[in-house]
Amino acid sequence: MNDTRLLNWRLVVPDDGHPLLLLPADGEVMSGATVLERDPRSLRAALQPGAFHGVVASDLSSWQHVDGKGAAGLLERLASVPPPGGWLYAAFPNPLVRPRRGGLGVRKALRVVRAAGLEGAAGYVLLPSQRRPAWLVPVRRRAELDVFLRRMVFPYAPLSSPVGAWFAARALVAARFLALILPHRLRVRFAPAYAVVARRPA
């Protein structure tokens, strides 16, 4: 696993050294973490209240078939695991942008984790995707996304040929311009992917 973006979720969660459960997106591993295999028995055994201080699902949608209860149902189960003081990170595609991936809207995800008793829930736009987030941009205020759109670049566009590269570059320029003039709620609504981070009160 050479792509450091797979572990960029570490930028927005506590580094507290407690036991961590990782539902990987693409074979990533982390020293000291329990990394689950994709089978229902392992998942059921791991999702016990208080079993892990931190829980990470770096691509929730790729695990929902293992759980069989959909993205929202799995998120609810994951949110029940952290003990007091523990935390959750879950990332997922936007179902409006990638309907076949079975993702969640960020507002629904925030409602699910709050209903599970977690507090301080924060949403993030993930770019270019939830599996390899080069950037994690808070959704609460417009300013952060404005800075990203005005000052950052998009180096991860797929470039299969010179002609494809030309069209991809033009499409990104147009998308950036559109995103800068849209109301903030619409920019967030049509982002490619999201993450939520929340903590159970101590």
More confident residue, 196 or 97: 196
Mean per-residue pLDDT, 85-98: 92
pLDDT at 72: 92
Global pTM value: 0.85
Residue 54 bridge partners (DSSP): 20, 87
How far apart are alpha carbons 58 and 89 in whole angstroms? 7
The secondary structure of residue 36, as a DSSP letter, is P
- Using CA atoms of 71, 188, 136, 104 in order, give the dihedral in degrees to the nearest 10: 0
pLDDT at 53: 96
Domains of the chain: 4-199 (3.40.50)
* pLDDT tens-place string over residues 33-78: 999 989 999 999 999 999 999 999 999 999 988 888 889 999 999 9
Residue 149 has pLDDT above 90, yes or no: no
pLDDT at 155: 47
Label residue 79 exposed, middle or buried (CB < 10 Å: 0-12, 13-18, 19+).
buried
What element of type H or E holds 22? strand 20-23
For residue 160, name the pLDDT band (cuts at 50, 70, 90): low
For residues 2-38, one letter each, b for 16 or more C-beta atoms within 10 angstroms of the residue's C-beta and e for the rest, the string is eeebbbbbeeebeeeeeebbbbbbeebeeeebeebee
For residue 11, name the pLDDT band (cuts at 50, 70, 90): very high
Q: Find the DSSP H helices in 56-157.
A: 64-67, 70-79, 106-115, 142-151
How far apart are alpha carbons 197 and 68 in whole angstroms? 23
More confident residue, 95 or 174: 95
Percent of the chain with pLDDT over 70: 84
